[in-house]
């Protein structure tokens, strides 16, 4: 956390550094502190899907399922092809007994994976290591 906080102090408006500081708190199992960090980021960057994804994940860790679903629905509305967001959202739906919604979220992601147009776009994409896209999923019928 100290390293992530030092990097954030050098560039306090850098969204990736805000995320890294939140992730460091989560790794130390300081989930409320992580949520506060991601909230700080959301206040500055309300259209940044990653912040909602990570805060939603931490809400899941604290069993705050309705808060998690709300954040993850916002995240998927901003980045509908991110598998990690979709997975966390489906989990949130499952944990709130919204089984049909959970299946629909995964089905939508799988639809991207099975669409040649979306797959072609993915082939030329350079995604960072932390990003898994729906289009990169392989399906075998």
Q: Is 125 exposed, middle or buried (0-12, 13-18, 19+ CB in 10 A)?
A: exposed
Q: Which phi and psi angles does 9 have, rounded to 5°?
A: -60, -35
pLDDT: which is higher, 58 or 121: 58
Question: Is the pLDDT score of 52 beyond 90?
Answer: yes
Reported confidence tier of residue 21, pLDDT bands at 50, 70, 90: very high
Identify the pLDDT of residue 134.
73
C-alpha distances in angstroms, 52 versus 114, 120, 121? 26, 28, 25
8-state DSSP, 11? S
DSSP at 134 = G
Tokens of 70: 């709300």
- Residues near 5 by Cβ (< 8 Å), separated by ≥ 6? 21, 24
Residue 102, C-beta contacts closer than 8 angstroms, at least 6 positions apart: 90, 91, 93, 94
Please state which of the ranges 1-10, 49-58, 59-68, 74-83 shows the lowest mean pLDDT: 74-83
What is the model's pTM?
0.86
Tell which wins on pLDDT, 122 or 22. 22
Tokens of 36: 């506060």
Tokens of 116: 């040649």
Per-residue pLDDT, averaged over 87-99, amounts to 97
């Amino acid at each position: 956390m100290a390293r992530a906080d030092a990097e954030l102090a050098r560039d306090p408006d850098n969204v990736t550094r805000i995320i890294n500081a939140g992730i460091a708190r989560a790794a130390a199992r300081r989930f409320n502190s992580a949520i506060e960090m991601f909230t700080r980021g959301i206040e500055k960057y309300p259209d940044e899907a990653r912040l909602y994804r990570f805060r939603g994940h931490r809400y899941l860790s604290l069993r705050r399922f309705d808060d998690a679903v709300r954040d993850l629905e916002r995240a998927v509305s901003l980045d509908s092809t991110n598998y990690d967001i979709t997975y966390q959202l489906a989990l949130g739906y499952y944990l709130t007994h919204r089984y049909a919604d959970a299946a629909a979220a995964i089905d939508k992601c799988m639809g991207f994976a099975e669409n040649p147009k979306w797959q072609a776009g993915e082939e030329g994409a350079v995604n960072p290591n932390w990003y898994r896209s729906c289009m990169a999923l392989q399906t075998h019928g």
